[in-house]
Homo-oligomer: A and B are copies of this chain.
Amino acid sequence: MPEPIATPDEINTFLEAFPEGVPWTVNHVDADAVTIELPERWVALRPGGSVSGPTLMMLADSGGYATVLGYVGLHALSVTSSLSIEFLRRPWPGAMIAVSRPLKLGRSLVVANVEIYSAGRDELVAHSTVTYSMALVTPG
C-alpha cells in the first residue's frame, strides 16, 4: 500500500496556482485512493441533461494526475501516455466524483484505476485506466 505524500489541502493549493486554473479539487487521499470532485457548474451538459463524454474523459485524466500528485510528488514531471475508458451508464446531471487507485507507482510509469460516479450515487458511471509517463517528453 502506498503512503500519500501530500494532503488534499496541499494538492489544492498547488493546483490553484495554475495560471489557467483547474476545475476540480481533491476531496480525500489515503493509502488506497485519491478522490476528486468536479462541481456541477463545470459539468458540460448534453441535451437531455446527461454529462458529456469529454467531461468524463477529462475527469478520468484528472484522476490519474491526482494520483501522481498524491503519491509521487507535486512537482513530478509527467504526461499522460495512454487512457482507456468504458462508459457504463448514463450519468445523472450534477457534480461528478472520481476515485483513483494507484495500481503501479514505478520510476517510469504510473498506472491508476479510476472509477467515476455521480456525486451521491453508488452506481459506477465509467471506469478508466490511465498511464502517466514520469519523464519530460519532448516532441519527436
Chain A residues near B (Cβ < 8 Å): 18-20, 46-47, 53-54, 57-58, 61, 79-90, 103-104, 106, 108-109, 111, 113, 123-124, 127, 129, 131, 133, 135, 137-140
Please indicate the chain B residues that have their CB under 8 angstroms from the CB of A57 in the complex: 54, 57-58, 61, 83
A-B contacts, 18 listed (Cβ < 8 Å): A20-B46, A20-B47, A53-B80, A54-B57, A57-B83, A80-B87, A81-B87, A81-B131, A82-B85, A82-B87, A86-B103, A86-B131, A89-B104, A89-B140, A104-B124, A108-B133, A111-B127, A123-B139
**Docked pose: A47 CA to B20 CA in angstroms:** 8
- Given A81-B86, A82-B84, list of 20 further CB < 8 A pairs? A19-B47, A53-B61, A54-B57, A57-B61, A79-B87, A81-B109, A81-B131, A84-B129, A86-B129, A86-B131, A89-B139, A89-B140, A90-B139, A103-B127, A108-B108, A108-B133, A108-B135, A123-B139, A127-B129, A129-B129
**How far, in Å, is A33 (CB) from chain B's closest CB?**
14
Please indicate the chain B residues that have their CB under 8 angstroms from the CB of A88 in the complex: 103-104, 111
- Is the beta-carbon distance between B80 and A82 smaller than 8 angstroms? no
Please indicate the chain B residues that have their CB under 8 angstroms from the CB of A87 in the complex: 79-82
